[in-house]
Each structure stands twice: as structure tokens, then as C-alpha cells.
């Protein structure tokens, strides 16, 4: 099984996950390539228009894009790499630096990857990660999830209408609730070592996070 890590290189991107996961392929997206090299990592690929930082010579393969294009650098990098992999051969696609520290339009574009048919086959593999926030996408089904370190809150963001959403093992449970339009159910919490949720139709963005007070406590510890 393959683990692919894309680093989009937002300021102060957290690379700590690379201490625990050795990727089969490490991709620096635009300035993310220089960011990786500056922190001691050698990208297998550097892909982007490199308007924020030139591609380091240490990168094994470089794809230089025109600034005038229909895709973001991250979208292009995903397509360029994933076209060589069948979904069954991918364990996870971890994207770093895609959740903050940059432009709001890029943040929304990264969340909206979930709506693009060209990424649908890999959707359940995509994991947007940073130290204080993480995002996963879920289609209709039944799931069990575990809390991530240092993340107090658990939120379920409907990206479409949602049918028969049930939440168990959380502070605020639900039973087969329907939502006719996208609804943000935020600031729930785990009540035990894991939680379960299920729904019969729709698309959910699940976020684990902590707030500023929790961050300060973590940093002070």
C-alpha cells in the first residue's frame, strides 16, 4: 500500500507527521518543495509554477507549470501523481499546509476538492493535516473514529444535504437526523476512546481541532 504526502508549503506548515510516517512518495507543491528541503527532507517531486520560491535542485523530479492555468498547483499535483495509481493501491493521501496560513480562497478550494468528480475515487484516502486541525471526507456509510492527539473538538460539516445522520460515543449524540441543506455541526467532543457515526446519503467533512486556549495549554506543557 502506498502513502503519498503532498506539502503545499503554507507558512509554519507542521511537518511533525513525517517523524511517524515515512511516505512512499513525497511531493513538494510550489513553495512546499523549498519548505521541505529547508527542513531536511528531499521531495521525490516538486510541482508548481514556483511563484513563491524556486524549486530546489535537491528535488528528484521537477514539473514547472505556467502561472496562467485553470488548476491550482495542488490540484495539478494531485492529478499528475494520482493518474499513475489505482485507488486500491493507495493507503492514504496526506496533504500538509492546506488548511491555514495563506489565502482564504485557497483554503476553500482545498475543501472543495471533495466535490470534484476527478478526485472521487481517492476521496476516502485524503487527509488534510496540521497540528491543530485535520480534515477527512466521508460518503454515506457507517464509521468508527478515534481522537487525535491534542484535538479536543469533533465537528461534522455537511457539504451537501445529509440523511439519517447518527452520532454515538460523543458528548452530543444524534439519531437519524436529516438536514435538507449543508449544515455545520461543530464543537462536539468524544465521550470515550472512540466515536461512531453513520448516514445514508450525502457528503460530510469531518474536522478534529482545538481552540486557542487548548493550543496555549499544549505549548505550555
Q: What digits encode the pLDDT tens for the residues 65-112?
A: 998 999 999 999 999 999 989 999 999 999 999 987 668 898 999 999
Report which of 124, 161, 171 is spatially closest to residue 143, judged by C-alpha positions: 124
CA of residue 188 relative to chain centroid, distance: 20
**Phi, psi at residue 154, to the nearest 5°?**
-130, 120
152 Cβ contact list (under 8 Å, min separation 6): 189, 209, 210, 211, 214
Q: What digits encode the pLDDT tens for the residues 28-59?
A: 999 999 999 999 999 999 999 998 789 999 99
Q: Contact at 8 Å (CB) between 25 and 5?
A: yes
Report which of 197, 95, 115, 98 is spatially closest to residue 154, judged by C-alpha positions: 197
Q: What CA–CA distance (Å, rounded) separates 6 from 26?
A: 6
Q: For residue 206, is pLDDT > 60? A: yes
The percentage of residues in the chain with a pLDDT greater than 70, rounded to a whole number, is: 94
- Sequence length of the chain is 221
Q: Contact at 8 Å (CB) between 94 and 17?
A: yes
Amino acid 11: pLDDT: 74
Amino acid 212: pLDDT: 62
Amino acid 51: pLDDT: 85
Choice between 36 and 212, residue whose per-residue pLDDT is larger:
36
211 Cβ contact list (under 8 Å, min separation 6): 152, 153
Q: What is the DSSP string of the chain?
A: -EEEEEE---TT---GGGGT---SEEEEETHHHHHHHHTT---SEEEE--SSSPPPTT-SEEEEPPSS-SS-HHHHHHHHHHTTS-GGGEEEEEEES-SSSS-HHHHHHHHGGGG-GGGGGGGGGEEEEETTEEEEEEEEEEEEE-PPTT--EEEEEESS-EEEEEEESBSS-EEEEEESS--EEEEEEBSSS-EEEEEEEEEEEEEEE--HHHHHHHHH-
Q: What digits encode the pLDDT tens for the residues 111-148?
A: 999 999 999 999 999 999 998 999 999 999 999 999 99
Amino acid 207: pLDDT: 98
Amino acid at each position: 500500500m502506498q502513502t503519498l504526502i503532498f506539502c503545499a508549503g503554507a507558512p509554519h506548515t507542521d511537518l511533525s507527521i513525517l517523524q511517524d510516517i515515512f511516505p512512499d512518495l513525497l511531493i513538494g507543491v510550489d513553495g512546499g518543495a523549498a519548505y521541505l528541503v529547508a527542513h531536511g527532507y528531499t521531495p521525490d517531486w516538486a510541482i508548481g509554477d514556483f511563484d513563491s520560491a524556486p524549486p530546489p535542485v535537491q528535488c528528484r523530479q521537477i514539473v514547472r507549470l505556467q502561472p496562467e492555468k485553470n488548476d491550482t498547483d495542488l490540484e495539478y499535483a494531485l492529478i499528475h501523481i494520482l493518474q499513475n495509481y489505482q485507488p486500491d493501491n493507495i493507503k492514504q493521501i496526506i496533504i500538509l499546509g492546506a488548511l491555514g496560513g495563506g489565502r482564504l480562497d485557497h483554503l476553500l478550494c482545498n475543501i472543495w476538492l471533495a466535490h470534484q468528480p476527478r478526485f472521487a475515487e481517492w476521496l476516502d484516502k485524503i487527509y488534510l493535516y496540521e497540528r491543530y486541525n485535520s480534515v477527512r471526507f466521508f460518503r454515506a456509510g457507517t464509521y468508527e473514529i478515534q481522537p487525535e492527539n491534542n484535538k479536543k473538538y469533533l465537528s461534522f460539516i455537511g457539504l451537501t444535504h445529509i440523511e439519517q445522520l447518527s452520532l454515538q460515543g460523543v458528548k452530543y449524540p444524534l439519531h437519524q437526523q436529516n438536514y435538507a441543506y449543508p449544515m455545520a455541526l461543530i464543537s462536539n467532543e468524544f465521550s470515550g476512546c472512540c466515536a461512531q457515526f453513520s448516514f445514508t446519503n450525502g457528503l460530510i467533512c469531518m474536522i478534529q481541532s482545538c481552540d486557542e486556549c487548548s493550543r496555549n495549554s499544549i505549548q505550555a506543557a
